[in-house]
Amino acid sequence: MTKQTDTDRRSFLKASIAAGGALVFGIGLPMRSKAAERFNLPVEPAVDFKPNAFIKIAKDGRVTVVVGQAEMGQGVLTSLPMIVADELEVEWANVSYESGPADKAFFNPAMGMQGTGGSSSVKGFFNPLRKASAQVREMLIAAAAASWNVSADVCRAENGKVINTVSGKSIVYGELLEAAAKIMPSDKPKLKDPKDFKYIGKPIKRLDSPAKVNGSAVYGIDVRVPGMLYATILRSPVIGGTVKTVDDTAAKAVKGVTHVVPLGYGVGVIADNFVNARKGRTALKVTWDDGPMAAVSSETIMRSFSDAADNKKGLQATKVGDIAAGKAAAAKSIDAVYWAPFLAHATMEPMNFTADVRADGAEVWGGVQAQMLVQGTVAKVAGVPVDKVKVNTTMLGGGFGRRFEMDYVVDATLLSKAAGKPVKVVWTREDDMQNDVYRPGTYNKMSAGIDGAGKPVFWHHRVVNDAIMARAGKAFGFILKDDQLDDSSYEGAHNLPYNFTNYQCDWVRVDTGVPVGFWRSVGSSHTGFSTECFLDELAATAGKDPLAYRLSLLEPGSRFAGVLKLAAEKAGWGTKLPAGSGRGIAVAESFGSYVAHVAEVTVGADGKVKVDRVVCAADCGQIVNPDTVTAQMESSVVYGLTAALYGEITIKDGRVVQKNFTDYKMLRMNEMPKFEMHILPSTEKHGGVGEPGTPPIAPAVVNAIFAATGKRVRSLPVKAADLARKA
């Protein structure tokens, strides 16, 4: 490897004067590929820094932060500019953002790619953005000091200007741009003391809210391009089915229809507007090759899971002590099977994408979570060089992992190439629901035992489901081997914080044929349910209070214990509730954050569950914007409650049964419980906030149902019929 010189190391931040006189700082961030480490992906030659983000300072002093992350409601267009504004010492009123293109310049250091997911944006960019902003600040101070012929030590930056502390003179940043551009940045700039933060850690109103309120925010479904056509695709009703024959005569006769394009997996209809495209699709006559999935149903999948749990060896994810010895020592043992169903992402904005494929390149528009994957996919499908593909990232009307997928990108690229014009593909809600990449259905075979004092002597958990990375990994050049673990399928089950003397977690992989992918909080979304509910069962078997039992198994002073105690205290744990009501608790760590929920529920005589109150306590490490933390935890609760109370994708004859929000219900506004948020102050490293609130909510509710009714819920979604009191 070629040795880098000090000059190379220091030149990662380059300044230039852009059109209009703005000073553009290209910020270099350390390249650290989590994806490469986790999945053993090929790693690029080692370098210390790569260009990663940009700061623009205009002559009028306005600062624009170019954000390469996607905004899908998580507040990244505010949190990242907050970091820059604080360290750069500029007034918040003078800060704005713009979305960055697909470019290696915007690699997310926490992901090892340009991507938005895994609750990683602040984790990945906090320290590098602080350092880069401090470098820019010091360059501006040095430029001002030189103009006054004084030492930089007597100058300081404040509110977008440099002040001479001796003379009292000041110069605004806009007057220092050209001089600052000529100064070599320090490799070790002095960062602000956290006690002096003006914005970081304080509640700040989101920069993107006004555009969303007044309707000027552009989502993928809003994109309009001159000369654009509209398209929709008729897809096989059976998962994995393909086109056998097409009669497009009637479709082509529909007014406005311009093209009918066979795609193998479906038939695309292009027209002058979406209504006509859909009419053309309805007129198509297609026969299908259903393929092997036509014989698959929810019942056959469940049987395959049950059989695998009992008879397949599986792979060992965690082993502590000796399960057999623990069983022999147990005074009491319990066994249970917990089932978490397949789930759709159900984003409010269904999949859509716009592509303009030309002979010399392509330009595309849409809400995406991985711009460079989009760029590479479009280049491959269109047959154009990667550097000739321009990706325009719009707002996302919900992501949750769904917009990491490339299916809707491929749709638009293929149809634009066929039409020779810009084409916007829009999926209907039914398309979206029945052709999703689903949260894996998961069968959990669990057993545990206690000694005479109620202390656990063994815990054994077999997680049975499909492998997310078997399909999703291919986008990263990763092939999951049969003997290789995929922790995205069982995470949260193999790393429990409880003090178990004999503890084992196995993962059994079953290929169901149902496409599975990343869903908000990934593996922890279902393992949080199974582990925290089964632990409640163990506490009941031991005759212990669920909170006290958890705390007895945790290290005193641990972050798990901290959020449990805070949530319980604020919820009034142990106080009496009315008859028919119950209180439950659960805790989980995911994406570096620790979250506990206490849920209070009322169960009617008809078995219907009403969640009355949710108290959330979170330790997310050092936070940037507490308003964002609260909003995302609340959002996670809504998403998790929807799944716990209603969410279920079922399969019949290879077809997804659910079609729309009529049979895949969402939590309604009148069903939203009272939500209380409590943030545990922390100086620990950053955890995520977009997903960690989801895993503990289902078990907190289910544990509350047991407290109210004495009935265990081991299968989601919660069914009123199972809880109804007999007349």
Comparing 6-206 with 220-291+364-426, is the CATH topology the same?
A: no
pLDDT at site 40: 36
Q: How confident is the model at residue 17 (pLDDT cuts 50, 70, 90)?
A: low
Q: Does pLDDT of 22 surpass 80?
A: no
Question: Domain-by-domain residue ranges, the chain?
Answer: 6-206, 220-291+364-426, 298-343+438-723
pLDDT one-digit tens code per residue, 341-396: 999 999 999 999 999 999 999 999 999 999 999 999 999 999 999 999 999 999 99
pLDDT one-digit tens code per residue, 219-229: 999 999 999 99
Q: Does pLDDT of 271 surpass 70?
A: yes
How many CB atoms neighbour CB 8 within 10 A?
Answer: 13
- In percent, the amount of the chain with pLDDT more than 90 equals 87
Q: List, in sequence order, the alpha helices (H) in 420-479.
A: 429-434, 468-472
Closest listed residue to residue 626, CA positions, set 679, 667, 580: 679
pLDDT one-digit tens code per residue, 582-610: 999 999 999 999 999 999 999 999 999 99
pLDDT one-digit tens code per residue, 505-547: 999 999 999 999 999 999 999 999 999 999 999 999 999 999 9
Q: How confident is the model at residue 50 (pLDDT cuts 50, 70, 90)?
A: very low
pLDDT at site 647: 98
Q: How confident is the model at residue 709 (pLDDT cuts 50, 70, 90)?
A: very high
pLDDT one-digit tens code per residue, 608-658: 999 999 999 999 999 999 999 999 999 999 999 999 999 999 999 999 999
pLDDT at site 16: 58
Assigned fold of 220-291+364-426 = Aldehyde Oxidoreductase; domain 3 (3.90.1170)
**278-284 contacts: CB < 8 A, separation 24 or more?**
278/232, 278/428, 279/254, 280/251, 280/252, 280/254, 280/256, 281/232, 281/233, 281/234, 281/251, 283/250, 283/251, 283/253, 283/254, 284/234, 284/246, 284/247, 284/248, 284/250, 284/251, 284/260
Q: How confident is the model at residue 110 (pLDDT cuts 50, 70, 90)?
A: confident
pLDDT at site 21: 59
Give the mean pLDDT of 204-208. Answer: 96
Beta strand ranges found along 438-543 (DSSP E): 442-450, 456-465, 503-509
Model confidence, pTM? 0.93
Closest listed residue to residue 263, CA positions, set 282, 236, 285, 283: 236
More confident residue, 704 or 38: 704
| Range in 73-77, 180-184, 258-262, 423-427 the model is least confident about | 180-184
If you write DSSP's letter for every residue of 364-428 in order, what string do you get?
Answer: EEE--S-HHHHHHHHHHHHT--GGGEEEEE-B-S--TTGGG--HHHHHHHHHHHHHTS-EEEE--
pLDDT at site 260: 98
Cα distances (Å, whole numbers) of residue 667 to 34, 274, 580, 636: 35, 29, 22, 12
SS3 558: coil
What is the rounded CA–CA span in Å between residue 490 and residue 695? 13
How far does CA 202 lie from the centroid of its chain?
24
CATH 3.90.1170.30 fits 6-206, yes or no: no
In the numeric block, the tokens 């995520």 are attached to: 688
pLDDT one-digit tens code per residue, 58-81: 999 999 999 999 999 999 999 999
Q: How far apart are the two ends of the chain, measured CA to CA in Å?
A: 78
Q: How confident is the model at residue 10 (pLDDT cuts 50, 70, 90)?
A: very low
Q: How confident is the model at residue 249 (pLDDT cuts 50, 70, 90)?
A: very high
In the numeric block, the tokens 């948020």 are attached to: 677
Average pLDDT across the chain, whole number: 92
One of 3.30.365.10, 3.30.460.10, 3.40.50.410, 2.40.30.10 is the CATH number of 298-343+438-723, namely 3.30.365.10
Q: How confident is the model at residue 48 (pLDDT cuts 50, 70, 90)?
A: very low
pLDDT at site 597: 98
How far does CA 157 lie from the centroid of its chain?
37
- In percent, the amount of the chain with pLDDT more than 70 equals 93
SS3 445: strand
Q: Which residues of 694-719 are buried (b: 16+ CB within 10 A; e: fewer)?
A: bbbbbbbbbbbbbbbbeebbbbbbbe
How many CB atoms neighbour CB 601 within 10 A?
Answer: 28
What is the rounded CA–CA span in Å between residue 165 and residue 143? 15
Q: Does pLDDT of 323 surpass 60?
A: yes
Give the mean pLDDT of 546-569. Answer: 98
